[in-house]
Every structure is written in structure tokens, then in C-alpha cells.
Structure 1
Amino acid sequence: MPHKTELYEDVPPTCWPIVYSPDYNITFMGLEKLHPFDAGKWGKVVNFLKEAKLITDDSVVRAREATEEDLLVVHTRQYLNRLKKHTMESFEEWSFVVATITEIPPVLFLPNFLVQRKVLRPLRTQTGGTIMAGKLAIERGWAINIGGGFHHCSSDKGGGFCAYADISLAIKFLFERLEGVSKATIIDLDAHQGNGHERDFMEDRRVYIMDVYNRYIYPGDGFAKRAIRWKVELDWGTEDGEYLQKVKAHVESALNEVKSDIVVYNAGTDILDGDPLGGLAISPQGIIDRDEIVFRAARKHKIPILMVTSGGYQKRTARIIADSLLNLHSIGLIDKELATGEARDAQVEMMSREPKDARPARH
């Protein structure tokens, strides 16, 4: 019996299937600047979309923080306890774990309550947003979490600024709660290998993973690579022409191989030329074109798509993400009314198939 959660509450039809909360943004006495990640990029994306009159505060779905019970759908209690300080004896371990995950060494010396409030709570809220967006994607045909995409975190280990396994959680929630959802495809186009969800779904044949990444950078997780069903390894400095040709061909092949009920698209912008961690050389227009390719493929195959924004370590990535979403809207790939109608048709088709691993929906 699934636990009671607030993350699967119904959303008014007046809202876009776009999930966000101001609580996503991390401001931590300037310490966030010690990591190359732009810890306020999510709010900047939303502001650009509001300036373009695509959304308003009232038309966006407000993300909720994932509770411990929500997180336990994937995470071990031992791992979650390691993110908290219960006693003075556990202080050293907690400090080391959180400092390692966030890649901000001074976290070693800060009190747990402050790190919970300023770093881990924003990440839990983004995680709740991804779970909420999964349900919305099935209902509306598409959904976008302006945050999330913590693909280096698995059930019992975090890393690479990823403390919670939001992709794994969104998929597990769908399998447990929505009738007819029994297969998922992850298309991971962040510059880094998505070793977290790969470890979580290593033995789960319901989840098909496609991963396109720079073969020479973090995490280089050879064990996790065994879970990748469609692997594309890139070289340093890969540029638009080669990259877009590979994405288009391989996304199409992956979606042809397995008929899934949901696509989870990890749309990292760390592929951008000049990114200090990605090592690739994709232009801003190349990122916009990449997102269009993935959304067109999902629409062609009539598969609902959930997009999360994942990595991206330059100040200009917020503008590029916003421009990409505006492009998707301008060409009709994300549209409130159209998506709702297509989602209705897709649900009818889904319900006509015999679900294999699904259970009745419970809230």
C-alpha cells in the first residue's frame, strides 16, 4: 500500500504543467559561490519566462518539499540518516557526507540545521517538484520541472551536488501509483554519465536508459554503465554538427526499441561550450535544437515526457533554458490546451493496453 503523500494532489487545469518554487534557489552566505553551479539559475529561468509572458506566478505549479516518507520510496533510511546529525558522535560523518555531496568543503564546519534549511531543503523541494511533474506528464502529455535532474544520486549514495535521487523517485512513484504506467525510458543528455539512476534500475527491466555523455569526465562509473541500454560516449570538444546528428539518430532508435509509458528527459546544459565541467562545445542554439529533437520524438511516438534541467555551470545557462522552452512553445511542442487533449488520447491508448507492473492509483 503506497504511503500518503501530498506530492500527488490534483493540479488545477488553469496551471501549466511547469513546476517550480522560489525555494529551489540556494543562498548560503555566499558559500554557494564556492561551487561552479549557479545556485540561483532556476529562479532566473522563471523570471525570463515571466518577462516573455509565457507564464505567471499563478499559472505555474508550486513544488512541495519531499518528505522523509516520500524519499524512502527509493532511499535507504541509513542514507537519509547520514544527511542528518542525531548526536555529537555522528557530527563528523554527517559533515563529511554533506560536504562531499555538495562539493563545498566549508560545509564541514557548519551546523546541521543551517545546511538543512539552506541546502538540503531546496534540493528536497526540487525533488518533490520532479515527482509532481511525473504525474503531470502522464495527465497532460508533457511536464517540466524547472529544477531537478540529480542523476548522480542513487538509493544509498549522493555525489556531484546530487543529494536525492529525484529521477528514480519520480519513476517509482509512477509505477506504484498510476495505473497503466509500467515502463519508462530515461534519456539522459547531461554531459555527465547518469550513474545514480543507472545504479537504482540496474536490475529493473521496466526502465530503459539512454545516456549520452563525455566519456572522460566524472563519474566514470563502470559498474553503473552496465545498466545503460543505449550508450553514446562523446569525446572532448564535440561540436553541434556531430552532437545533434547523434542525438537525433539515437533518440529515435531508443524510442523505437521499447514502447514506454513515460520519457524522463534529463536536459543538462553543461554540454555548453566553455562549461568548466562538461568538456563539450555545444552552442546555445545547439542546446535549443537538442531539446526540440527530444520533444519532437516523444510527440511522434505519443509518449508523455517529463523534462528536468539538471547540470549547467555557466551564468548564461538560465537564459538558454528559457529560450529553449520559449522555442518549444512557439513551435507547438509545449502548449497547455494541445497537450491536455493529446494526454487524454494517450491515456485512452495506455488504458487499452494490459498493464504489467502497474497498481491502482492511490493518493
Structure 2
Amino acid sequence: MPHTTQLYQHVPETRWPIVYSPRYNITFMGLEKLHPFDAGKWGKVISFLKEEKLLSDGMLVEAREASDEDLLVVHTRRYLNELKFLFERVEGISRATIVDLDAHQGNGHERDFMGDKRVYIMDVYNRHIYPGDRFAKQAIRRKVELEWGTEDDEYLDKVERNLQKALQEHLPDVVVYNAGTDILEGDRLGGLSISPQGIVKRDELVFRVVRGRQVPILMVTSGGYQKRTARIIADSILNLYSVGLIGSESPSLSAQNSDTPLLPPEVP
């Protein structure tokens, strides 16, 4: 008997399909400030969007804590540590594409979906940095390895060409887009040289290509080890709205930890 979950929910038109909780922002007696990752950037993104009058209180989807029944949708009772997404347990999705544009190789999901032909993985990353997981690379269907200091023009060209080919090879029911901002110039861990404008263009490019094929897209953020990344993420969301790639007729797919809107209502 398939397990059910309350984490996937209908998003009313009066709300943006942004699942957010202040608990996403990590604090530990100030020690979080010693780490280069901005553990409070999600709250800053929301604050920036409110300042721009794109959001107001009551327009977000409140995050729900996962119950055992929710966890059993993706985990087994044996321990819940086998991170296998069981498509047969989630209605409506039988083929998925992961577009991983974080600066680091996404070896976690690559190991999770090793050998699963229903999941197509495209990964664009700096080949010289962590993790360098050779085994996990076997799961990548479209691998784009970058050199130190790759800049906007080369990067955007490679992303667009390979994304078009990826969707030609495997047309999915949903695209999960990992929109890491550690590609930003000056990020010592990412080692690439993409400008803030380049990141905004990248996100627009991905949405334009995927939406052009009538495929729902779920955008999540990940790496980004500079304080200014929160502003860039907010600027990208504003741009997607202004160019009409997210709007009242956009397909909506809401999931926990998504911090990108796909169906904005009118702001009062």
C-alpha cells in the first residue's frame, strides 16, 4: 500500500508556492558566523522580496514538520537512511531530470539514483574542487566539467547547449533545478567567476528552456558562501517575475525547502 504525505499540498492562488520557515535559518550561539556559508540567507531572501513589495505576510506556505508517514514516502522503515525517491509512491511523476548548477559535483543525488533510468542527471561543476567522486560520476547522464575561473559567456553557453540536449534526450515530468550561487565570482570554495548578472541570466535561461517545453520546474538553492548571495537570489526571483517566467499561469510544484515562487498572486 503506497504511503501518503501531507508535505505535497495544493497552493491557494492567494499565496506564493514558497515553502518557508524561520527555522530554515541556522543559529548556534553565534558559532554559525565562523562558517563561510550564510546560514541565514533564506530569511534574508524573504526580507528582500518583502522590501520589493513582491511578498507580504500571509503569502507564504507554512512549512510542515515531516511525520513518520511522510518520511516513509522516500525512506524505508529499515532505517530511513536509504535515500531512494520511490516514484511509485508519488502520484504523477515517473520521469525526472535533475539540473545541478551548483559549483560542486552533486555526488549525493548521483549516488542515490545510480542506475535508475527514470532520473536523468545533468551536472555542471568545477572539476578541480570537492568532492571529485569518480564513482558518483557514473550516474551523470550529461556531465559538464568546468575549469577554474570560468566566466559568464562560456558558462551560459555551455549551460544552454547542454540543457537543450538533456531535455531532448529525456523529457521529464518535472525538473528539479539546483540553483547554487557558489559559482559567484570571489567564492573561494566554488572557484568560478560568474557575475551577479550572470547568475540572474542563468536562472532565466533555465526557466525559459524548461518552461518552453511545458515541464514544471522546482528551483532550490544550495551552495553560496558569500553574504551577497541572498540579494542575488532575490534579484533573480524578481527578474523571473518581471520577464513573465513565473506568473499566474505558471505550473506549480511545491515541496519542502523550495524557496523559489512559481505561482505569484497579486500583491495587495
Query: Normalising to structure 2: TM-score of the pair?
Result: 0.88
Q: In structure 2, what is the Cα distance between the partners aligned to 1:175 and 1:243?
A: 36
What's the offset of the Cα at 1:176? Answer: 1.9
> Could you say which residue in structure 2 is the equivalent of 1:302?
214
Any gaps of 5 or more consecutive residues in structure 1? 81-154, 157-164, 344-363
Q: 1:202 aligns to what? A: 114
Structure 1: distance between partners of 2:206 and 2:217: 9
- CA drift of 1:52 comes to 0.8
**Greater relative contact order: 1 or 2 (C-alpha under 8 angstroms, separation 6 or more)?**
2
Determine helix, strand or coil for the equivalent of 1:227. Answer: coil
Q: Which residue of 1 aligns with 2:229?
A: 317
Pairing 1:338–2:213 present: no
1:261 pairs with 162, 166, 173, which one?
173
Cα offsets for 1:60-79 (capped at 9, x unmatched): 11122223443344446676
More helix by share: 1
- The correspondence for 1:284, drawn from 176, 191, 196, is 196
Q: How many aligned positions are there?
A: 253
Specify the alignment match of 2:71 in structure 1. 71
- More moved, 62-71 vs 27-36: 62-71
Q: Name the SS of the counterpart of 2:153 in structure 1.
A: helix
Q: Distance in 1 between matches of 2:22 and 2:196?
A: 25
Instruction: Output the CA distance in 2 between the equivalents of 1:272 and 1:193.
Output: 16
In structure 2, the partner of 1:48 is: 48
The secondary structure found in structure 1 opposite 2:250 is helix
The percent identity for this pair of structures is 70
Write the distance in 2 (CA, Å) between the matches of 1:184 and 1:312.
25
1:297 shift after superposition = 0.5
Q: CA deviation at 1:2?
A: 2.7
Task: Describe the shift of the 1:9–1:24 C-alpha distance in structure 2 as closer, same or farther (beyond 3 A).
Answer: same
* Alignment correspondent of 1:18: 18
User: In 1, distance between residues paired with 2:56 and 2:41?
Assistant: 18
Kindly state the Cα deviation for residue 4 of structure 1 after the two structures are TM-superposed. Answer: 3.9
Distance 1:279 1:75, change over 3 A: farther
Q: Which one has a bigger Cα radius of gyration?
A: 1
Shift of 1:260: 0.7
What is the root-mean-square deviation of aligned Cα atoms in Å?
2.0
TM-score for both structures, normalised by structure 1: 0.66
Answering whether residue 90 of structure 2 is matched by residue 177 of structure 1, we say yes
Q: Which piece of structure 1 moves more, 251-260 or 315-324?
A: 251-260
Find the aligned partners of 2:9 and 2:157 in 1 and give their Cα distance: 40
Could you report, residue by residue, the CA deviation over 1:177-206 in whole angstroms, capped at 9, with x for unpaired residues?
Answer: 223x21000000000011111111102100
Q: Which amino acid aligns with 1:339?
A: S
Instruction: Name the amino acid aligned to 2:198.
Output: G
Structure-2 change in CA distance of 1:331 and 1:282 (3 Å) = same
Deviations 1:90-128 (A, max 9, x none): xxxxxxxxxxxxxxxxxxxxxxxxxxxxxxxxxxxxxxx
Residue aligning to 1:62: 62
